């Protein structure tokens, strides 16, 4: 991942370490993004996602490391380079939106052009153009305080895009929106990116948001990269227990299960466990079969979610659509060999 | 039994309704009463012992050159002090809230000290420092460089502006430090990442977001410094340069023309009321939230070495010029048996303190009077203000916003104008020449400070706390005594100390109302200022000690100084 030399690397982050006092928020983080690509920094609260984004934007100064954006070195601790935020030419959508309350919508949006000394007519025209794209054309003259949360976010988005930055950063871009609006904005963001062709870096703690928006995902854990790769791969193929737990899999110590050797933990999706009251005849070699007792059952729409106590005193959660078990029933849990993840830490 | 509960309920209800109304009506009376007296007097003209209704006083007002000069001088003082303290106060607030200047936590408190000191004492201290020929600065430079370095003339409008700026800088500081500390950092960050440099961000984002606080501070500083009596009296009155408040004083004294003085007072009141109402309307339109729950706290800016030196220099110069140097001058003067512009440690003596504290009946009486006025006035003031706050926060009424605006009016009216109206009101009554009339004038001029402090805290106390006591069978009186008053106690104490401090140093509201035997500390300083500077300095220091005690107690309550 030492991407300094890779030709297709558009954004390069290498060995970035950031400390707050004794606390290490980013621990020698390295990754890169290709031009026009989308990357999501995913991870639980406090793992350092926002800190990484702020280091990229120049709002925090790392202790050490190297950052280049579009071929321009913006930070290099070895050479003492540290460009100011305004010299990095980015667009940023902040988690709190940071839409300025003392300006109208269009004044907010034309701000990046205004400070670049672009004439009044031209910046008005360009701001209106981008406001039309995000669907706020008729709100241009409103005071920013009279907007709903979703509208404010579109203003923040328009402001981050109006000066055609090469790289746009999004901090929890969709998390403050309700479910329907979030889905709508997600599609809109994708369309905008296709149209305008910027490189995007999303920061989020929401896996659905990361999967829906980004082609590559970096899963962070306590200031380090836990897993990275293509979105689908990171989501489907789990290699660490942290990743498995983060994506909601059942994770069990291997030595508590029969026949599981050569690994520390076993993980499997809640959907992939098959329940039956008698020994499953479809069982094949390598499948995991354990007896257990139904502890609770809760209705989850099309399926039921069961909490099942396995014999060894381990509890798992299983989604099953058959609906024939009640608390207290003895069951056999079977997971196909192909659905078992051997997790090595 | 049934009847008993009912009547108890009823009387409880009566108290609940009538007590807050009592506080509000007393406040309104304290404002309207003297104002009406002034208005009536300004419309009367005595023609051969016969009073006639006439606009002659106003006609004179708008044609007299002296009035125009005084108005222009006040405008200069107000604008000058406002501009300097806006720049200085905002810079200081920014330095201690946004940078890593060494000692920022200590400076946060130290910057407030001038707010509690007396500008009049500050002016006297500065006279000792830089008065031509005899100022400490002149005598010291004369010794050091073989000839005195004359500084700018302190006996001038520039001198007045200088002193006012030093003492009103903390007002601005107080108004902007809290928004500066709580503002969502993302507002400024968003400007930076989208291409604005540091100063562009300050100009286009930070300052506009601070605008409501800056505007409130600007108006208060302008109105208070244009209407402050003490400093122009100490510095320019004897040089024939008058501002509006000293002109009012002159109109009452040499020669006495209460009609013209009243017309002038009504005019000043009208202007300040208009300004205050305009500001209220303006602020109501731009009440937006600059604090968002999700944002980060503003970043502390890591100053480079040069930046640290500049920030520290601004801090230290401010504290030196507003507190340390004038107090030092007062101490040296107070310790000298005869002040000649030079301090001789060999002759240092406490005789001046001994004299003003124990021997001289005028100063002894003055100290007693000031203490009595401050303690009694603060107590009565807090009682009235507490009831008003209850009305403003808890009582449902359609007149509330009107009452709120009305009760805030004295904040802008110069003390000398209000006391002029009280003088007109009381001059032919037995009240004239008593401590009581001083007490009433003090309370009338300053109760809004207490009302604001208490109202702010009361608004933060959830009414359910009282309602649950009522639901559990406590009467209204019991609820007040056992629930609300204990909860409100910090605000009540803070308000009390605030009034105590203001009353201890007050001069403008006393100058027209004192008589022989009812002098206050500030009046005694004024009376002695011509001939015995040692007593003046000693008295000033005694007053400062009282103020400092008040300030320390106030910090202990942890109450915010401005709401
Ligand atoms: N200015 C700061 N001073 C001290 N600690 C900080 C500062 N900023 C962040 N941290 C700490 O660094 C860690 C990472 O913070 P960061 O904001 O990057 O987390 P995050 O991954 O964005 O979390 P979330 O999903 O909650 O936004 C946290 O433990 C946080 O407390
Ligand atoms: Mg974050």
CB A340 within 8 A of CB A238: no
Q: Nearest C-alpha of chain B: how many angstroms from A203?
A: 15
Q: What is the complex's ipTM, to 2 decimals? A: 0.84
What residue ranges define each of the domains in chain B, with the CATH number in brackets? 67-334 (1.10.3720.10), 347-563 (1.10.3720.10)
Q: Assess whether pLDDT exceeds 90 at residue A176.
A: no
Nearest of B508, B166, B92 to residue B326 by alpha carbon:
B166
Q: Quick check: CB of A125 below 6 Å from ligand 1?
A: no
pLDDT given for residue B1 in this prediction: 41
- What average pLDDT does the segment A101-125 reach? 94
| Residue for token pair 């809640």 | A270
User: What are the sequence ranges of the domains in chain A?
Assistant: 11-242, 249-343
Bond before A32 cis per omega within 30 degrees: no
Q: Which residues contact A62 (CB under 8 A, 6 or more apart)?
A: A16, A17, A18, A26, A55, A75, A77
Q: With contacts defined as CB-CB under 8 Å, which chain B residues touch A46? A: none
Whole-number average pLDDT of chain A:
86
CB B73 within 8 A of CB B66: no
| Global pTM value | 0.81
Name the residue at shortest CA distance from atom 22 of ligand 1: A50
Long-range contacts from A18-21, C-beta under 8 angstroms, 24+ separation: A18/A48, A18/A51, A18/A52, A18/A55, A18/A60, A18/A62, A18/A63, A18/A223, A19/A63
How is B364-385 classified by DSSP, letter by letter? HHHHHHHHHHHHHHHHHHHHHH
pLDDT given for residue B313 in this prediction: 94
Predicted confidence (pLDDT) per residue in A195-247, tens digit: 888 999 999 988 888 888 889 999 999 999 998 889 888 888 878 888 888 88
Nearest of A135, A72, A76, A80 to residue A105 by alpha carbon:
A135
Note the CATH number of domain A249-343.
2.40.50.140
The CA distance from B136 to B132, in Å, is 9
Q: Which residue has the higher pLDDT, A93 or A332?
A: A93
Q: B296: nearest CA in chain A?
A: A96
Helices (H), chain A: 49-57, 105-114, 120-133, 149-161, 179-196, 207-213, 231-236, 241-246
Q: Which CATH architecture has domain A11-242?
A: 3-Layer(aba) Sandwich (3.40)
How is B169-217 classified by DSSP, letter by letter? HHHHHHHHHHHHHHS-HHHHHHHHHTT--HHHHIIIIIHHHHHHHHHHH
To test the pocket of ligand 1, the residue of A19, A20, A45, A221 to mutate (highest count of ligand atoms within 8 Å of its CB) is A20
The CA distance from B439 to B286, in Å, is 38
Atom of ligand 1 nearest to the CA of A60: 1
Sign of CA pseudo-dihedral B172, B178, B183, B185:
positive
Interchain CB contacts (distance < 8 Å): A and B: 88
Instruction: Report how far ligand 2's centroid is from the alpha carbon of A50 (Å).
Output: 4
Show which of residues 20-79 on chain A sit within 8 Å of chain B, judged by CB atoms.
Answer: 57-59
As averages over each run of 10 residues, the pLDDT of chain B (563 residues) reads: 48 75 89 89 80 82 87 92 94 91 89 88 90 78 73 85 93 87 87 93 92 87 89 86 88 83 90 86 70 59 86 94 92 85 81 84 89 94 92 85 86 88 87 90 91 86 84 84 86 88 89 89 86 87 88 73 53
* Record: contact B194-A86, CB cut-off 8 A: yes
Show which of residues 157-196 on chain B sit within 8 Å of chain A, judged by CB atoms.
Answer: 184, 186-187, 189-196
Backbone angles phi, psi at A83, to 5 degrees: -75, 145
CB B43 within 8 A of CB B55: yes
- Nearest CB to B186 within list A84, A86, A98: A98
CB B513 within 8 A of CB B419: yes
* Record: contact B290-A101, CB cut-off 8 A: yes
Which tokens sit at B479? 């609820």
SS3 of B61-77: HHHCHHHHHHHHHHHHH
Q: With contacts defined as CB-CB under 8 Å, which chain A residues touch B209? A: 100-102
B150-163 in b/e burial notation, b at 16+ Cβ within 10 A? eeeebbebebbbbb
Q: What is the DSSP letter of A338?
A: G
Helix (H) or strand (E) holding A201: strand A199-204
Q: Quick check: CB of A51 below 6 Å from ligand 1?
A: yes
A111–chain B Cβ distance below 8 A for any pair: yes
CB A228 within 8 A of CB A41: no
pLDDT given for residue B190 in this prediction: 94
């Amino acid at each position: 991942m030492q991407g300094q030399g890779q030709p297709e690397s558009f954004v390069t982050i290498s060995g970035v370490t950031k400390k707050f006092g004794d606390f290490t928020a980013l621990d020698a983080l390295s990754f890169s993004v290709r031009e026009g690509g989308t990357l999501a920094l995913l991870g639980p609260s406090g793992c350092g996602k926002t800190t990484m984004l702020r280091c990229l934007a120049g709002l925090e100064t790392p202790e050490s490391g190297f950052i280049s954006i579009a071929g321009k070195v913006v930070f290099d601790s070895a050479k003492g380079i540290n460009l100011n935020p305004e010299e990095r030419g980015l667009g940023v959508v902040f988690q709190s939106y940071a839409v300025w309350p003392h300006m109208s919508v269009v004044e907010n949006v034309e701000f990046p052009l205004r400070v670049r000394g672009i004439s009044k007519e031209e910046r008005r025209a360009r701001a209106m153009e981008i406001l039309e794209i995000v669907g706020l054309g008729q709100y241009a003259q409103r005071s920013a305080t009279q907007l709903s949360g979703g509208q404010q976010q579109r203003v923040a988005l328009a402001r981050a895009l109006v000066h055609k930055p090469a790289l746009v950063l999004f901090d929890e871009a969709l998390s403050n929106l309700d479910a329907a609006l979030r889905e709508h904005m997600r599609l809109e963001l994708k369309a905008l990116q296709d149209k305008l062709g910027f490189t995007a870096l999303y920061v989020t703690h929401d896996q659905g948001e990361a999967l829906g928006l980004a082609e590559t995902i970096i899963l962070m854990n306590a200031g380090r990269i836990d897993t990275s790769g293509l979105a689908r791969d990171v989501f489907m193929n789990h290699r660490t227990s942290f990743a498995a737990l983060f994506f909601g899999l059942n994770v069990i110590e291997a030595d508590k299960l029969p026949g599981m050797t050569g690994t520390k933990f076993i993980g499997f999706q809640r959907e992939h466990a098959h329940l039956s009251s008698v020994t499953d005849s479809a069982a094949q070699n390598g499948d995991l079969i354990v007896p257990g007792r139904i502890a609770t059952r809760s209705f989850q729409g099309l399926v039921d979610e069961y909490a099942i106590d396995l014999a060894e005193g381990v509890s798992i959660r299983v989604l099953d659509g058959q609906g024939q078990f009640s608390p207290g029933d003895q069951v056999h849990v079977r997971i196909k060999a192909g659905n078992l993840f051997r997790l090595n830490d | 039994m049934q009847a008993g509960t009912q009547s108890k309920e009823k009387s409880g209800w009566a108290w609940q309704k009538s007590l807050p109304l009592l506080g509000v009506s007393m406040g309104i009376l304290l404002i309207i009463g003297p104002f009406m007296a002034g208005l009536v007097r300004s419309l009367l003209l005595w023609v051969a012992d016969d009073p006639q209704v006439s606009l002659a006083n106003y006609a004179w007002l708008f044609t007299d050159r002296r009035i125009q000069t005084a108005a222009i001088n006040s405008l200069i003082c107000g604008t000058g002090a406002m501009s300097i303290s806006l720049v200085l106060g905002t810079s200081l607030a920014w330095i201690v809230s946004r940078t890593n200047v060494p000692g920022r936590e200590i400076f946060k408190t130290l910057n407030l000290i001038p707010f509690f000191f007396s500008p009049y004492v500050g002016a006297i201290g500065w006279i000792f420092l830089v008065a031509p020929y005899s100022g400490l600065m002149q005598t010291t430079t004369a010794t050091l460089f073989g000839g005195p370095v004359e500084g700018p003339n302190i006996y001038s409008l520039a001198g007045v502006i200088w002193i006012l700026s030093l003492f009103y800088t903390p007002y601005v500081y107080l108004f902007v430090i809290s928004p500066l500390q709580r503002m969502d950092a993302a507002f400024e960050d968003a400007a930076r990442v989208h291409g604005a440099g540091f100063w562009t961000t300050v100009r286009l984002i930070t300052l506009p977001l601070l605008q409501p606080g800056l505007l409130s501070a600007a108006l208060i500083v302008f109105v208070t410094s244009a209407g402050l009596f003490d400093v122009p009296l100490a510095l320019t009155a004897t040089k024939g340069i008058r501002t509006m408040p000293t002109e009012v004083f002159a109109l009452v004294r040499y020669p006495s023309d209460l009609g013209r003085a009243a017309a002038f007072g009504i005019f000043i009141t009208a202007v300040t009321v208009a300004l205050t109402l305009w500001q209220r309307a303006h602020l109501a339109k731009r009440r937006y939230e600059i604090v968002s729950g999700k944002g980060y706290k503003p970043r502390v800016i890591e100053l480079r070495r040069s930046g640290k030196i500049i920030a520290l220099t601004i801090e230290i110069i401010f504290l030196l010029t507003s507190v340390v140097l004038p107090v030092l001058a007062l101490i040296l003067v107070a310790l000298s048996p005869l002040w000649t512009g030079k301090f001789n440690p060999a002759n240092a003596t406490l005789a001046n303190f001994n004299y003003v504290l124990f021997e001289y009946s005028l100063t002894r009486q003055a100290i007693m009077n000031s203490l009595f006025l401050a303690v009694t006035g603060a107590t009565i003031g807090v009682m009235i203000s507490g009831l008003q706050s209850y009305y403003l926060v808890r009582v449902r009424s359609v007149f509330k916003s009107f009452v709120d605006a009305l009760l805030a009016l004295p904040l802008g009216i110069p003390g000398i104008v209000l006391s002029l109206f009280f003088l007109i009101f009381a001059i032919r009554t037995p009240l004239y020449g008593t401590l009581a009339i001083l007490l009433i004038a003090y309370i009338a001029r300053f109760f809004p400070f207490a009302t604001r402090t208490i109202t702010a805290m009361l608004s933060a106390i959830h009414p359910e706390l009282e309602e649950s006591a009522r639901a559990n069978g406590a009467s209204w009186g019991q609820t007040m005594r056992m629930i609300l008053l204990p909860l409100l106690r910090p605000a009540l104490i803070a308000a009390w100390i605030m009034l105590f401090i203001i009353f201890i140093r007050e001069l403008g509201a006393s100058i027209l109302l004192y008589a022989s035997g009812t002098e206050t500390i500030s009046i005694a300083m004024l009376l002695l200022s011509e001939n015995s500077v040692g007593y003046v300095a000693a008295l000033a220091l005694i007053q400062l000690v009282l103020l400092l005690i008040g300030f320390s107690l106030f910090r202990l309550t942890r109450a915010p100084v401005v709401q």
